[in-house]
């Protein structure tokens, strides 16, 4: 049986196991077409992306692996080492709010972060180790919890590799990458290792000079559903930031579109972790345990308004963040087969503690001038959930869930007015009803509540640290309510399609503005959208994938300023052509459309749409040696990667000017990679 696709049947069971053995992947592959997901998933918006699909992605940066999720856009508005910007389902998710991301049960989102709530830095990800990615969209799963109202992405590293890998990549704009990875037998299991180094200057006049080091060491015994692993990971990165620039300066010829204003912007970050997981499965029940400790840090220097607040020293500020995150996840599932009904009952708990030291300082050329605020934060949460999945008949099944989360916030700040303790809790029911399949077609109705946490400082701040004016506290947790209709069909041979329409309401568009050290509590909001995704296996060697999504995001409640949600994504689409096993040749071509967004609440200023084409082609000299060429922005479009509208002041300007500020899409570039397996 050919390993065409690695979509796993096991991965969607409530046991939630992880693949560790390639033979399992071979057994679930279907020759010439994708493995069917009918009868396995509880929503049209859920899915599993296998290793083969991930390998075919042409990604400029590791975070773009998430664009394998239909309707998701990954962008960047600064240097390569900074967390990406994410867009999904009518959201500008900033650096990760409302998109829960995890790797091997370890959270990637960082709460109460110095720069952005839910900060999601994926630069530590090594794509070659990623066995699969499971995704869900909407608040319909009791097991996901914080940050998952718009969606969630769970990435899983392999416990062992089919072959050891040595690769070397060279590209334009100073791009260099080397990787060595393998998983030899050791004791009673396998010892997975990987070391990666990367450098990248980008097309910018002041080079990014991004430098990173990645390393992974994992010992694993057993298999996906009966075994354990212990892992250690290391990541370090350093870069210059090419932050967004004002359009007026480019149009007047004062600045090249690949230039920057404050050349001392940039940052350094690191992430060290140790983790472990254990799974046991038999005919009647299944257990799962995992634990982790993550030590991470960031020093970020940014200047978005230039000389508006301080005409002499400039407006650069720093946001240091140091934290230790620890947590424990456990679940147990009982399998019942009474009265002809198959029922899985899962109970689970997720505990997490963050011990955080962060701040906001005014700086010049990365030299501290003054302190706006400094805080020691201890944030602790406990989530408990019940999940019941029942197949009532051959054509009807349900999934019912109930989750309760309790949060404790403690802030010791440099101002007593902004210090103290607070707590919040929330209960989130979910329900999914699945009808079919009839003629290889299933119908779904999903309804549920979710939430995102707010910055711990927001729950206790009563004095604005910038203006020293009184300000109101914000709640710790914000409820989201969603409902959705969807279908999944394989009625046409070799074609898999999904359709869904949804509505998602938020009680408040709360966000902590780390750049100012204050909290903005927006109005309630509503998003209504439609999504469709299609995968066609035209031949054993050729497939076509297409997905498109449109969302309407509006604030609720009257306001003369308007009701558009600023930065909310509207239309997105992707079209890709993939070929493999055409003799020694393989490759892919992908078109991505990123639609316009409202940049003001009255929609009077809008961003332009962007369109990019990326591609790759590979040639195998032998079963163990491959040469691959990747191309980015092949049409060399002069589009924006991201746009904002706000006031700034350049040196020499008499007063602040409201303007579009943009980060350019990288110009056309190519990379060559030589891969040796052994």
Q: What is the pLDDT of residues 448-491, one digit of tens each?
A: 999 999 999 989 988 888 888 888 888 999 999 999 999 999 99
Residue 516 confidence class, pLDDT cut points 50, 70, 90: low
Q: In what order do the strands lie in the sheet with 106-107?
A: 47-50, 130-137, 151-157, 99-103, 106-107
Supply φ then ψ for residue 598, to 5 degrees. -75, 130
DSSP, collapsed to helix, strand or coil, labels residue 457 as helix
| Integer Cα distance of 167 and 625 in angstroms | 10
* HSE (side-chain half, CA atoms, 13 Å) at 428: 33
More confident residue, 521 or 637: 637
Site of tokens 């350019």: 664
Per the domain annotation, does 3 fall within a domain? Answer: no
- pLDDT of residue 31 exceeding 80: no
Q: Which residues pair with 617 in a beta bridge?
A: 587, 629
**What is the average per-residue pLDDT within 511-527?**
73
| Residue 603 domain flag | yes
C-alpha–C-alpha distance, residues 271 and 17, integer Å:
26
pLDDT value, residue 5: 31
pLDDT at 2 over 50: no
Answer yes or no: is 5 within a domain. Answer: no
Which of the listed ranges 23-37, 404-418, 506-520 does the model predict with the highest average pLDDT?
A: 404-418
Handedness of CA 220, 221, 223, 227 (dihedral sign): negative
CA nearest neighbour of 354 among 424, 396, 295: 295
pLDDT tens digit sequence for 141-155? 999 999 999 999 999
Question: Would 248 be classed as within a structural domain?
Answer: yes
Give the total number of structural domains in the chain. Answer: 1
Residue numbers of the domain that contains 420: 10-677
User: How do residues 189-198 score in pLDDT, each as one tens digit?
Assistant: 999 999 999 9
- Please say if the pLDDT value at position 16 is more than 80: no
Whether the pLDDT of residue 340 is over 50: the answer is yes
158-169: average pLDDT: 96
User: Which CATH number goes with the domain that contains 394?
Assistant: 2.40.170.20
pLDDT value of residue 671:
98
Q: Cα(632)–Cα(670) distance, rounded to whole angstroms?
A: 6
Q: Which helix (H) or strand (E) holds 249?
A: helix 247-251
Average predicted confidence (pLDDT) for the chain? 91
CA distance 344 to 366: 55
* pLDDT interval class at 13 (50, 70, 90): very low
Q: Do the domain assignments include residue 304?
A: yes
Helix (H, G, I), strand (E, B) or coil at 365: coil
pLDDT greater than 60 at residue 256: yes
Whether the predicted pLDDT of 10 surpasses 80: no
Q: How many angstroms separate the CA atoms of 527 and 533, rounded?
A: 19
pLDDT band at residue 431 using 50, 70 and 90 as cut-offs = very high
N- to C-terminal Cα separation, the chain: 22
Does 279 score more than 50 pLDDT?
yes
Q: What is the pLDDT of residues 357-393, one digit of tens each?
A: 999 999 999 999 999 999 999 999 999 999 999 999 9
Q: Residues 199-213: pLDDT tens digits?
A: 999 999 999 999 999
Residues 253-271 as b or e (16 or more Cβ within 10 Å = b): eebebbbbbbebbbbebbb
- Contact criterion met (CB below 8 Å) for 332 and 346: yes
For residues 649 and 664, the answer to whether their CB atoms sit within 8 Å is: no
**Distance in angstroms (rounded) separating the CA atoms of residues 39 and 387:** 17
Q: Which residue has the tokens 């949600």?
A: 565
pLDDT, position 396 = 96
List the strands of the sheet with 245-246, edge to edge: 245-246, 657-664, 640-648
pLDDT recorded at residue 491 = 94
Residue in 217, 309, 179 with CA at minimum distance from that of residue 628: 179
| Nearest partner of 418 among 375, 355, 361, judged by Cα | 375
Q: Is the pLDDT of residue 512 over 70?
A: no
Q: What is the mean pLDDT of residues 410-429?
A: 95
Q: What digits encode the pLDDT tens for the residues 168-194?
A: 999 999 999 999 999 999 999 999 999
Residue 432 vs residues 138, 201, 353: alpha-carbon distances, Å: 12, 47, 31
């Amino acid at each position: 049986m050919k390993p065409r696709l690695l979509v796993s049947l096991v991965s969607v069971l409530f046991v939630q196991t992880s693949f560790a053995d390639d033979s399992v992947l071979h057994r679930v592959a279907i020759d010439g077409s994708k493995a069917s997901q009918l009868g396995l998933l509880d929503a049209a918006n859920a899915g599993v992306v296998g290793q083969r699909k991930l390998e075919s992605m042409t990604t400029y940066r590791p975070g773009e692996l998430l664009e394998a999720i239909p309707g998701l856009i990954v962008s960047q508005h600064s240097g390569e080492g900074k967390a990406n910007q994410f867009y999904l389902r009518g959201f500008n998710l900033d650096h990760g709010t409302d998109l829960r991301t995890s790797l091997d049960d370890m959270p990637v989102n960082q709460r109460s972060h110095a720069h952005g709530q839910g900060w999601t830095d994926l630069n530590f990800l090594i794509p070659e180790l990623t066995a699969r990615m499971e995704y869900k969209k909407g608040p319909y799963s009791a097991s996901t919890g914080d940050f998952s109202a718009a969606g969630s992405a769970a990435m899983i590293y392999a416990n062992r590799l089919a072959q050891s890998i040595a690769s070397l990549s060279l590209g334009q704009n100073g791009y260099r990458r080397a990787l060595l990875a393998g998983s030899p037998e050791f004791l009673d299991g396998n010892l997975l290792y990987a070391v990666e180094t990367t450098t990248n200057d980008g097309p910018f006049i002041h080079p990014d000079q991004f430098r990173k080091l990645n390393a992974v060491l994992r010992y694993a015994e057993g298999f996906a559903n009966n075994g354990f692993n212990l892992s250690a990971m290391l990541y370090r990165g350093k870069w210059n930031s090419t932050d967004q620039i004002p359009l007026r300066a480019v149009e007047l010829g004062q600045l090249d579109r690949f230039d920057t204003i404050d050349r001392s912007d940039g940052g350094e970050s690191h992430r060290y972790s140790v983790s472990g997981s254990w799974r046991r499965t038999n005919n009647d029940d299944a257990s799962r345990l995992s634990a982790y400790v993550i030590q991470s840090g960031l020093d970020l220097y940014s200047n978005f308004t230039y000389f508006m607040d301080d005409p002499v020293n400039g407006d650069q500020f720093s946001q240091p963040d140091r934290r230790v995150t620890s947590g424990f996840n456990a679940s147990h599932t009982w399998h019942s087969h009474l009265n002809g009904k198959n029922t899985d009952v899962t109970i689970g708990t997720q505990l997490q503690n963050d011990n955080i030291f962060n701040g906001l300082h005014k700086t010049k050329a990365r030299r501290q001038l003054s302190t706006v605020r400094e805080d020691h934060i201890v944030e602790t949460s406990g989530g408990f959930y019940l999940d019941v999945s029942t197949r009532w008949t051959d054509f009807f099944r349900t999934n019912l869930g109930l989750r309760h989360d309790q949060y404790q916030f403690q802030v010791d700040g440099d101002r007593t007015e902004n210090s103290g303790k607070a707590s919040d809790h929330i209960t989130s029911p979910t329900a999914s009803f699945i009808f079919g399949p009839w003629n290889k077609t299933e119908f779904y109705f999903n309804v549920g509540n979710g939430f995102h946490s707010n910055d711990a400082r927001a729950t206790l701040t009563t004095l604005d640290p910038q203006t020293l004016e009184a300000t109101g506290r914000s709640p710790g947790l914000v409820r989201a309510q969603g409902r959705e209709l969807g279908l999944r069909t394989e009625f046409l041979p070799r074609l898999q399609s999904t359709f869904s329409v949804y509505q998602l309401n938020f009680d408040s568009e709360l966000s902590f503005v780390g750049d100012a050290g204050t909290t903005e509590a927006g109005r309630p909001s509503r998003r209504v959208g439609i999504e469709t995704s299609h995968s066609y296996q035209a031949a054993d060697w050729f497939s076509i994938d297409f997905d498109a999504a449109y969302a309407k995001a509006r604030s609720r409640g009257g306001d003369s300023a308007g009701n558009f949600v600023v930065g909310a994504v509207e239309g997105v689409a992707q079209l890709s052509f993939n070929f493999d096993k055409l003799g020694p040749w393989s490759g892919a071509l992908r078109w991505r459309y990123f639609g316009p967004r409202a940049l003001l609440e009255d929609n009077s200023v809008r961003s332009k749409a962007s369109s990019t084409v990326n591609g790759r082609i590979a040639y195998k000299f032998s079963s163990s040696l491959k040469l691959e060429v990747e191309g980015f922005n092949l049409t060399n479009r002069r589009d924006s990667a991201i746009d904002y509208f706000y006031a700034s002041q350049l040196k020499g300007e008499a007063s602040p000017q409201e303007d579009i500020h943009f980060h350019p899409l990288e110009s056309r570039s190519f990379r060559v990679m030589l891969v040796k397996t052994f």
